[in-house]
Structure 1
Amino acid sequence: MAEHTFPWTSERDFRLWQYGAGHSQLQFRSTGFEPEQDVVRIEFIGVERVEADRVYPGPVTLSSVASHGPYPGDAKFPRLLLELTAAGRAAFVVASGVRITRETQDGEVLALLFATTKREQDEAADGR
């Protein structure tokens, strides 16, 4: 079963891989492109806001934050406020959920490493 509490960490390097405004999805993917090497994909779902660099050298940490600059933590439609940090760099993402998988180079999911939504985080905070 996948973890669903923050922070999540990885020793791998990550790169901004894809942003789909129409589907409100953002993906980071670990680098290293030998055919036999697996990759780790971080997928944000229901993305409302993004501040990101292209590359994040490992180790990286994904954390939930209470606020970020002028962005309020108590918005009308609650979302996760997330930071991906590495070597002095930080990405900020507002999303309804995040899912992290280990995959083959062709995208076959080998393992679900981490998954959570705003609702699951709120329930955990309330002790449910």
Structure 2
Amino acid sequence: MNPGETLLSTSRTFQLWRYGAGHSQLILRSGFRPEGEPVELLFEGVRSVQFDSLYFPELTVWRDEDEVVENDRARFYNLRIELRSPKHTGVITAGRMSYIDGTYRDGTIKWWVTSPRGEAIGGGDRPTCE
């Protein structure tokens, strides 16, 4: 769907800060800056997570080709984000990723990337939960 692209490349170290399966959210937070505010990466609609380590020094965030989940009625798209570090790579599959200057509750969203909307297969209405 998309050819892949670098979304962020930084010398900062990020670590897993919070994961909530119930809200399907994952937050990676950088160390605190001298001004006292961290930088966070917020993943929403998290479908899967694969890490070898919870720390990502010299992080590069790569958007790989979107993943497609399909059944007989609908096709859904998810972002496939690779977290690349010199010693390991992690993968997160989610619906949205936001870069926040500050913290999730108090920070400013600087940019975000969202997966494409799903679509019905073979016509008809967009599927809903039953």
Please, what TM-score do these two structures have when normalized by structure 2? 0.72
SS at match of 2:99: strand
**Within 2, Cα distance between the matches of 1:92 and 1:84?**
6
Q: Runs of at least 4 residues of structure 1 off by over 3 A?
A: none
Point out the structure with max Rg over C-alpha.
2
* Structure 2 runs not aligned, ≥5 long: 71-75, 118-130
Does the 8 Å contact 2:26/2:44 carry over to 1? yes
Aligned mates of 2:9, 2:37 — CA distance in 1:
17
Q: What is the RMSD of the two structures over their aligned residues, measured on CA atoms? A: 2.3
Q: Which of 66, 69, 74 is the matching residue for 1:75? A: 69
Deviation readout 1:75-116 (Å, 9 max, x if unpaired)? 222100110111121110000000011116x9521x323201
Q: Which residue of 2 aligns with 1:8?
A: 8
Task: Give 2:14's aligned amino acid.
Answer: F
Identity of matched residues, %:
27
Q: Does 1:114 align with 2:108?
A: no
Q: What is residue 23 of structure 2 aligned with on the other side?
A: 23
Q: Which has the higher contact order (CA 8 A, sep 6+)?
A: 1
The structure with the largest helix share of the pair is: 1
- What amino acid is aligned across from residue 38 of structure 1 in structure 2? E
Q: Indicate whether 1:41 and 2:40 are aligned.
A: yes
TM-score by length of 1: 0.73
Give unmatched runs, 5+ long, in structure 1: 68-72, 121-128
CA gap 1:107/1:39 in 2 versus in 1, 3 angstroms: farther
